[in-house]
Structure 1
Amino acid sequence: MSTFHIRLGWGPTGNVFWASESTCHCLAKLCTIILFIQAMNFLAAAQNSTSGLQLHIRDKEVVVENGILQMTLSKPGGVVTGLQYNGVDNLLEVLNEAPNRGYWDLVWTAPGITRKKGAFDRIEGTNFSVIVETEDQIELSFTRMWDPSLEGKLVPLNIDIRFVMLRNSSGFYTYAIYEHLKEWPAFNLTNTRTVFKLRKEKFHYMAISDKRQRYMPLPDDRLQGRGQALAYPEAVLLVNPVEPQFKGEVDDKYLYSIENKDNRVHGWISTEPPVGFWQITPSHEFKSGGPFKQCLTSHVGPTTLAIFHSTHYSGAELIIEFKPSEPWKKVLGPIFIYLNSLVTEDDPLQQLWEDAKQQMETEVQSWPYDFPSSEDFLSSDQRGTVTGRLLVRDGYISTEDIFGNGTLVGLAAPGDAGSWQLECKGYQFWTKANEKGFFSISGIRPGIYNVYAWVPGFVGDYRHDAEVTITPGCNVDVGTLVYEPPRSGPTFWEIGIPDRTAAEFYIPDPNPNHINKLYVNHTDRFRQYGLWERYAELYPYNDLVYTVGVNDYRKDIYFAQVTRKTGNNTYQGSTWQIRFTLDTVGKNNTYTLRIALATAHVSELQVRINDLEASNPLFSTGQIGNDNTIARHGIHGLYRLYSVDIPGAQLLEGNNTIFLTRALSISPFQGIMYDYIRLEGPASSNNESLGSSSWGYK
């Protein structure tokens, strides 16, 4: 079979690979499909847009159309009540009341008010205005202004929600500007998002990524008699679903969470007629918590979400607290709602998904957009660029600096190393360094930032000490940055992979009565309900014991150290053991235990050395974490790194044991997940005099 030389990419050094003739034919077919879909959308636009954009303003609604789609919004509320496209009179759920179809919302609290989840506010404007009306663009504004008479009743924010429709565009954009003025009272913001609820009789197929898409159950299946509530309120066992194929499955919206860095396009597909409804996020600069922050995407309804800020997988530490008289303004979005359709029935699911991904690439390349008319959204010429290179220096691994290949490098508000994962008020800008460690971040809003980084394979977080000031049009070269990860001495042994997750550890099969079929034989094995219960089944009487040099962490370290149920609503903690051997010990020296946690939820981790009965642990984290990752089927929450100094006098020549006790146990959802554990010897050129393991150094 012949082989072709193919060049991919449009940069100065495109990627090159060798492909078989059959592979090339498949690629050609895929490109043809995408071009065909785009051509059909373009032809539909050309046939229907002879009159260009149209705006109809009525007493209680506003209708905007471009010949491809028609959008109806409440006036002056700004709720999307109707979307007409491809012969369907309304893609949104017509069974819902009009305000419960397409909207922005938030959750907030005033200081001193104790609500479990805060006050829910489905945002509706009190004033409507047309910002732009030309043959190429219509931009609408729905505002709700705050004044002191509303204190305690509404969140103290001025809110301006915008909708934009462009000529010949198969979709629309939405963004918002939130503003808190200096003289206004304090408040806390827990969550804010956009929500679109689609027609349940049409949209049955959901797609989040290439490997995470499926036909979904109906919202009716969660009702009493069809669904059985499980231990966590969002989780329901489908016992008598409308479609029998879903019987025995668990439905839970948290099964479809995703990290910000991977959340570019997701949505739903109707097969009759073949129509896709997609939410495209061209940038993550306006999302809180950085690239690893996890958010919901979609769930039964069918519902699609754009989460701009939430406390999921992080807890109260990500509540945005505004002090009295603290000025603040932020632009959230725009995001793009993209609609596509087919005129053929040849694998519509795949075709519509591939076309949505192609449109996503177009939107990403167009960022920052040049059409939003708000002066608060900055165009490319009002932004700056930062370039540089990042190297890693660890003399116990290499005598030369190591290229920061795959490093995530970002700009966020000034703070401590790693503070970006808690930063929510400002903007963040991230990129991935190339194989030589070079990086370039463009489209940065003016302001003062620190440069942060996280390097796969190394513990800890990097922060460049010098602050970076961005001005319009600037190009700042920060030069070569060198990250020296925490290290006291040579590695005696290590467990896991420092990647900020617990994915490499043992993840059991789910209870066969509590499965989600999407994740059977899937790389994301952790996205199953009830895995916290499997630990006690595997270790019914004694806790986990891991012997370094004998056991394999991929098979013998459970992915989460959780509670064990001992009775009716009673639970107990657990103590894991790490056993290892030292040939010699430097009694006057200090050894270091590095413990990187991928997540924690209402737990205390205590460390003891060679004496489980010691009344006081050598080290304790104290109570940490409200990530709730275990219940929400995640593999990480907030990253935490601890360094424990071990006096050589507490170590033995021969066999040693580290006891890891996870205390505080009142619910099945408490626990921690380890990212990585490493024992380091003292720093010295003469290792043998200070202590060595029987299997040597690394």
Structure 2
Amino acid sequence: MHSLKKSLRKLGLDKFDKKGAGASASISTSGVRLHFQGQHVVVDNGILQVTLSVPDGIVIGIRYNGVDNLLEVLNKESNRGYWDLVWSAPGSKGIFDVIKGTNFRVIVDTEEQVELSFTRMWDPSLEGKFVPLNIDKRFIVLRGSSGFYSYAIYEHLKDWPDFDIGETRITFKLRKDKFQYMAMADNRQRYMPLPDDRLQGRCQALAYPEAVLLLNPKLRELQGEVDDKYQYSCENKDNRVHGWMCTNPPIGFWQITPSDEFRSGGPHKQNLTSHVGPTTLAMFLSAHYAGQDLVPKFRAGEPWKKVFGPVFIYLNSAPVGDDPFFLWEDAKIQMTTEVQSWPYSFPASEDFQKSDQRGNVSGRLFVLDRSISEDCLSAKGAFVGLAPPGEAGSWQRECKDYQFWTRADENGYFSIKNVRTGDYNLYAWVPGFIGDYRHDALITISPGSCIEMGNFTYEPPRDGPTLWEIGIPDRSAAEFYVPDPDPKHINRLFVNHPDRFRQYGLWSRYTELYPHEDLIYTVGVSDYTKDWFFAQVPRKKDDNTHEGTTWKIRFKLNNVDRKGSYKLRVAIASATLAELQVRVNDPSTRRPLFTTGLIGRDNSVARHGIHGLYRLHSINIPGEKLVEGDNTLFLTQPRCTSPFQGIMYDYIRFEGPPC
């Protein structure tokens, strides 16, 4: 850290503004005022001034703490602060669209609040040119608030053209001469490379465009490190606040998301946060770590309306002499305030439901696994949620509507508050147990409803007693062996870090560790934290092509019920254009006992995700295929046209015949 500070001094990036403007700005009592300046509109509350283009609704300027513009002034006005999306007609290539309004309205204009609307309405003359959606982008500035809010309403009317929407988000691009320290968690923050460091001649391209090796960065201490935006991905449930700090003057720019209800894929869906640019993102829809399963597809004139946000852009500053890293601590405090204020009372759109329009659901969840206990156990720490009606586990592929999640306490009690009106199923999964729970009865939320569901029990899949198991059923491969990265491809942030799997290039270490023979795991002898590689990926050959791999699980059986049926449970944490074939005791059989066929487009191996979509396979193994003494299971992943193809296992269990 000390050497980095020396480099920052050389670049003039360590000085504080001695005026301490931010300290006094935060106590401003000025009302909110609206100013029109030709093709721009400025919202000023005495703490900050936000300038937007009219009628586009692009944030072109944010003045705060004596800095005229926190956004990148070297960029075009349309490339500073904007909503965007990627859409396509069915079967067509995706189109990137920075959403520009065609009509501007002032919704609220008082000293307490200004709310602005920038709309782009669709009609048949625009078919093929723009996504068939009515889009209403809103921006809100409140009196005394050190920041501003943004949300949008997307609407597809009945009988409009079919389309897919692969991504939508809010993007802010900050000044590279001001913002160089990024923070997204207490243990995931650092001085970041500059965007110039990613230019040709200053870096080396790696296996995909997002990842580069820094050869000649302006901060010399970053030389030899990998920069890759996917190293800073985050699960929805943990993605509450992230952003950047400037040290001259000391300013923080933070994106706060107080609720997951409008994000796709549930609490474990992973999204981008902040990355080199300096860029900060509010992600609402994306296919990352899931593929087409998380791309909303609208067919047969399906009507649809959804509110994304509001999210809060929070600005803070530190007085002269204070530790600038306090800005991160303050941002976390503000995040808590925003979460406790959800749902907000001030958005003017009727499509955003306020607290009195919503309902609550509570209950208690138990788990019954008779191989562990004849009694019901409290579902300690269970993830419990309401999502649109579907099959058990369908919530992780849900991407059109709203979801509401919580965690059960030590005794399995849960409470889901402020649920939008509508029909839902209640879903759950319990750490330490396989499978997904769905409560059969439909739950209808009406305004002001408080539904007490009482007690209910999840019985996870189980046929017989556990003969052996590998891993922990937690929907992640993090407990398995994650190797150190190639020293030439390192991100120092993740050295000796709990998220060591976020290092670049770990897939290539499999070939180095198993150059000739694949992984062999012996039950009762091997240790899955040391002897089970975190991803079953192809092996690289001398001619730079790849070959599929077959892992062996060796185990002993003292007695075999030849007429009985055994069960192999394979929980998969992620799959990318992969296939799992299972054979028992004879690896040469042309047809496997079981195959998944081609599964998955998670791309978690390349994107350092440690999990993607959860899949559970239950495989019957006839007793006649087993022998007393030594047995071997062969797990083959034959797909090998890319080094990123493969499987991450969550948990494997071998059960005996039912007692």
Instruction: Say whether the fold is shared (TM-score over 0.5).
Output: yes
Within 5 Å, give how 1:404-415 maps onto structure 2: 404-415=379-390
SS of residue matched to 1:526: helix
> What is the alpha-carbon distance in structure 2 between the residues aligned to residue 248 and residue 293 of structure 1?
31
Q: Give the conservation status (yes or no) of the 8 Å contact 1:136–1:167.
A: yes
Instruction: Name the aligned partner's letter for residue 61 of structure 1.
Output: H
User: When the two structures are aligned, how many residues end up with a matched partner?
Assistant: 640
- 1:432 paired with 2:407, answer yes
Q: Which runs of 4+ in 1 moved over 6 A?
A: 39-42
Deviations along 1:565-618, whole A, 9 cap, x unmatched?
Answer: 114441100000000000000000000000000000001100000000011100
> What is the alpha-carbon distance in structure 2 between the residues aligned to residue 389 and residue 96 of structure 1?
53
Residue number in structure 2 paired with 1:283: 259
> What is the alpha-carbon distance in structure 2 between the residues aligned to residue 151 and residue 94 of structure 1?
34
SS of residue matched to 1:542: coil
Residue number in structure 1 paired with 2:76: 97
SS of residue matched to 1:464: strand
Residue number in structure 1 paired with 2:16: none
Within 5 Å, give how 1:677-696 maps onto structure 2: 677-684=652-659
Residue number in structure 1 paired with 2:103: 127
Q: 1:324: Cα distance to partner?
A: 2.7
Q: 1:59: Cα distance to partner?
A: 2.3
**What are the ranges of 5 or more consecutive residues in structure 1 without an aligned counterpart?**
1-38, 685-698
- 1:354 paired with 2:329, answer yes
SS of residue matched to 1:584: coil
SS of residue matched to 2:160: coil
> What is the alpha-carbon distance in structure 2 between the residues aligned to residue 264 and residue 53 of structure 1?
27
Q: Give the conservation status (yes or no) of the 8 Å contact 1:41–1:170.
A: no
**What are the ranges of 5 or more consecutive residues in structure 2 without an aligned counterpart?**
1-19
SS of residue matched to 1:535: helix
- 1:303 paired with 2:282, answer no
Residue number in structure 2 paired with 1:34: none
SS of residue matched to 2:448: coil
Residue number in structure 2 paired with 1:643: 618
Q: 1:346: Cα distance to partner?
A: 2.9
Q: 1:42 to 1:285 in 2, by over 3 A?
A: farther
Which of 593, 601, 610 lines up with 1:618 in the alignment? Answer: 593
Residue number in structure 2 paired with 1:493: 468
Residue number in structure 1 paired with 2:300: 324
- 1:170 paired with 2:168, answer no
Residue number in structure 1 paired with 2:85: 106
Q: 1:135: Cα distance to partner?
A: 1.2
> What is the alpha-carbon distance in structure 2 between the residues aligned to residue 80 and residue 559 of structure 1?
43
> What is the alpha-carbon distance in structure 2 between the residues aligned to residue 269 and residue 242 of structure 1?
18
Q: Give the conservation status (yes or no) of the 8 Å contact 2:243–2:253.
A: yes
> What is the alpha-carbon distance in structure 2 between the residues aligned to residue 44 and residue 57 of structure 1?
23
Instruction: Name the aligned partner's letter for residue 675 of structure 1.
Output: D
Instruction: Name the aligned partner's letter for residue 78 of structure 1.
Output: G
Instruction: Name the aligned partner's letter for residue 109 of structure 1.
Output: S
Residue number in structure 1 paired with 2:64: 85
Q: Give the conservation status (yes or no) of the 8 Å contact 1:569–1:667.
A: no
Within 5 Å, give how 1:552-567 maps onto structure 2: 552-567=527-542
Residue number in structure 1 paired with 2:240: 264
> What is the alpha-carbon distance in structure 1 between the residues aligned to residue 21 and residue 561 of structure 2?
75
Q: Give the conservation status (yes or no) of the 8 Å contact 1:370–1:380.
A: yes
SS of residue matched to 1:410: strand
Instruction: Name the aligned partner's letter for residue 599 of structure 1.
Output: S
Instruction: Name the aligned partner's letter for residue 25 of structure 2.
Output: A
Q: Give the conservation status (yes or no) of the 8 Å contact 1:101–1:197.
A: yes
> What is the alpha-carbon distance in structure 2 between the residues aligned to residue 61 and residue 180 of structure 1?
29
> What is the alpha-carbon distance in structure 2 between the residues aligned to residue 646 and residue 109 of structure 1?
44
Which of 318, 335, 354 lines up with 2:311 in the alignment? Answer: 335
Q: Give the conservation status (yes or no) of the 8 Å contact 1:207–1:353.
A: yes
Within 5 Å, give how 1:428-577 maps onto structure 2: 428-577=403-552
Which of 63, 71, 84 lines up with 2:42 in the alignment? Answer: 63
Within 5 Å, give how 1:356-371 maps onto structure 2: 356-371=331-346
- 1:252 paired with 2:228, answer yes
Which of 91, 98, 117 lines up with 1:141 in the alignment? Answer: 117
Q: 1:45 to 1:570 in 2, by over 3 A?
A: closer
- 1:150 paired with 2:110, answer no
TM-score normalised to the size of structure 2? Answer: 0.96
Q: 1:49: Cα distance to partner?
A: 3.7
Deviations along 1:613-647, whole A, 9 cap, x unmatched?
Answer: 01110000000000000010110000000000000
SS of residue matched to 1:111: coil
Q: Give the conservation status (yes or no) of the 8 Å contact 2:101–2:119.
A: yes
Q: Give the conservation status (yes or no) of the 8 Å contact 1:498–1:676.
A: yes
Residue number in structure 1 paired with 2:189: 213
Which of 203, 207, 210 lines up with 1:227 in the alignment? Answer: 203
Q: Give the conservation status (yes or no) of the 8 Å contact 1:265–1:280.
A: yes
Instruction: Name the aligned partner's letter for residue 191 of structure 2.
Output: Y
> What is the alpha-carbon distance in structure 2 between the residues aligned to residue 231 and residue 64 of structure 1?
44
Deviations along 1:382-437, whole A, 9 cap, x unmatched?
Answer: 00000101000001001210101100100000000000000011100000101010
Q: 1:142 to 1:372 in 2, by over 3 A?
A: same
SS of residue matched to 1:107: strand
Residue number in structure 2 paired with 1:53: 32
Q: Give the conservation status (yes or no) of the 8 Å contact 1:562–1:669.
A: yes
Instruction: Name the aligned partner's letter for residue 102 of structure 1.
Output: G
Q: Give the conservation status (yes or no) of the 8 Å contact 2:23–2:319.
A: no
> What is the alpha-carbon distance in structure 2 between the residues aligned to residue 567 and residue 373 of structure 1?
63
Q: Give the conservation status (yes or no) of the 8 Å contact 1:49–1:168.
A: yes
Q: 1:446 to 1:245 in 2, by over 3 A?
A: same
> What is the alpha-carbon distance in structure 2 between the residues aligned to residue 71 and residue 193 of structure 1?
19
Deviations along 1:656-694, whole A, 9 cap, x unmatched?
Answer: 00000001110111110000000001111xxxxxxxxxx
Instruction: Name the aligned partner's letter for residue 73 of structure 1.
Output: L
Deviations along 1:243-276, whole A, 9 cap, x unmatched?
Answer: 2111000000000000000001101000111100
Instruction: Name the aligned partner's letter for residue 434 of structure 1.
Output: D
CA RMSD of aligned residues (A): 1.1
Q: Give the conservation status (yes or no) of the 8 Å contact 1:42–1:168.
A: no
Q: Percent identity?
A: 67
Q: 1:41: Cα distance to partner?
A: 6.3
Residue number in structure 2 paired with 1:609: 584
Q: 1:72: Cα distance to partner?
A: 0.2
Deviations along 1:351-371, whole A, 9 cap, x unmatched?
Answer: 111100000000000000000
Q: Give the conservation status (yes or no) of the 8 Å contact 2:21–2:66.
A: no
Which of 360, 363, 373 lines up with 1:385 in the alignment? Answer: 360
Instruction: Name the aligned partner's letter for residue 197 of structure 1.
Output: K
